[in-house]
Amino acid sequence: MPGTHVVLSGRYRPLSRHIQWHQVVPRSLLHMSCHSCSPLGSSQFRISVQHGPPQGFRPRITHIMLTERSRRRVQTQTILVAPLMFTGLLIGLWTWKCIMMVVFQNKIIYMPGLPPTARSERIADWSSHCGGVQWREERTKAADGTDLAMAVATVPLPKGSRQVAADTAKSVVAHVYVLYFQGNASSIPPRLPDLSWVLRAVSDSKQYALAPMELTFVCLSYRGYWTSRGRASEPGIRLDAEAGANWILQHHERTFGKDSTTRPILLVWGQSIGSGVATNLTATGRIPERLPIQGVILETPFLSIRSMLETLYPQKWLPYKYLWPFLRNHLDSYANLNLIAQKTREKGGDAPFIYILQAERDELVPKEQTEKLHQRCIELGLPVEKGVASVAFHQEAIARGPGKKLAAEAILKLTKRALLETSRG
């Protein structure tokens, strides 16, 4: 009969529990059979027929609705699979990159194999571009036994004379040494032409009245660079820098004798990453007392490795700048300046003069970092001066004429100041 519905009600008693239920279904869907219940309980059913739908009745087909819900759930899960997989892939790559940055940070920071010819360069390949400055290769060993390569040249300082004296007079007041720490990548030989130009400018200068003496320039090749053995790391490079200073003292004593009155004047020059090596050596280096560092040249320096991470990767979503707690390489010149000032106060005497050479168009190190180093020196009472190489990018500070002149002038200024301190001492 149209509009007739069935009220299905019953009582189910499993064990000691009593459950009553009531369900209204259309008569057309009523199909049931009563079977004996399991021993765990008994069932009683009552069927009554009523005419007309009860108030608020909405017929439902339960098994059809369940099927539709299942289909929708499956469709929703299928739609979410691609975004979830993509998000998981990004998180996995992000985590993998973080781990690689921490584990292989030495290989990422130091790049001795670039360009591919860096390890096979020879001094002879570049000698024709050195303007008559004669470079030679020397070897030394770090405290841990690592064999290191150096490029060494000597030029005279007496007012414009380029010819190196054949027999060094033992009565000269002092002999100047510049220990050079290179920047990242490449090797020493390709840098020799620019350094030779600086040395010639120093030798030819008539601006400063210097006593007849000579200057020996020592370019240290870090472990793993050029023909030096080992693998680069900050602790290892610290040992290399100390080995370079020890070699200079030994060379000085072989040349002038241990009891000679000729004093060695040591200046250190660091370029880019080498600036951190230079400040490390000046602040905490274990070098002989007879060889104090009296001047520091910082070419295109940065504050620290941590500051460079923030500069190179400023995006908040990139993980690299957040990994600084895991750094094993710091090269923190900003902190080293404080140690240099503290060391000077403890030992007394004059602090080393610091000359900062900035590249005007430096595309790698922001000028704010150079200015912070300069301001830090002033705050700590360290003697400092800053020069700006015009129209020069990061790697061109001494590749252009203005930068070469500034570097040569820095060496002469530091030498003159060291001679005055030597005469007072």
pLDDT 10s digits, 61-91: 444 454 566 666 666 667 777 788 888 888 8
Q: Per residue in 214-233, pLDDT tens?
A: 999 999 999 999 999 999 99
Q: Among candidates 357, 352, 368, 242, which has minimal Cα distance to 303?
A: 368
Whether residue 341 has pLDDT greater than 90: yes
Letter for the amino acid at 221?
A: S
Q: Measured between alpha carbons, how far is 296 from 282 in angstroms, rounded to an integer? A: 8
Please state the length of the chain: 425
Report pLDDT for 242: 98
Give pLDDT tens digits for 30-69: 444 444 444 444 444 444 444 445 555 455 444 445 456 6
| Fold that domain 108-424 belongs to in CATH | Rossmann fold (3.40.50)
Please state, for a pLDDT cut of 70, what percent of the chain lies above it.
Answer: 78
Residue 212: predicted pLDDT: 81
The span from the first CA to the last CA of the chain, in angstroms, equals 125
Domain ranges of the chain: 4-60, 63-103, 108-424
3-state secondary structure labels for all residues of 25-65: EEHHHCCCCCCCCCCCEEEEEEEEEEECCCCCCCCCCHHHH
Closest residue by Cα to residue 336 from 295, 370, 303, 379:
303
**How do beta strands 263-271 and 214-220 pair?**
unpaired
Q: Are 146 and 240 in contact (CB under 8 A)?
A: yes
Most distant CA atoms of the chain, gap in Å? 133
Handedness of CA 84, 85, 86, 89 (dihedral sign): positive
Model pTM score: 0.79
pLDDT reported for residue 26: 52
Question: Which residue type is seen at 186?
Answer: S
Is 243:229 a contact under the CB 8 Å cutoff? no
Which of the two residues, 415 and 92, has the higher pLDDT score? 415
Check the CA dihedral 413-414-419-425 and report its sign. positive
Alpha carbon 269 to chain centroid, angstroms: 20
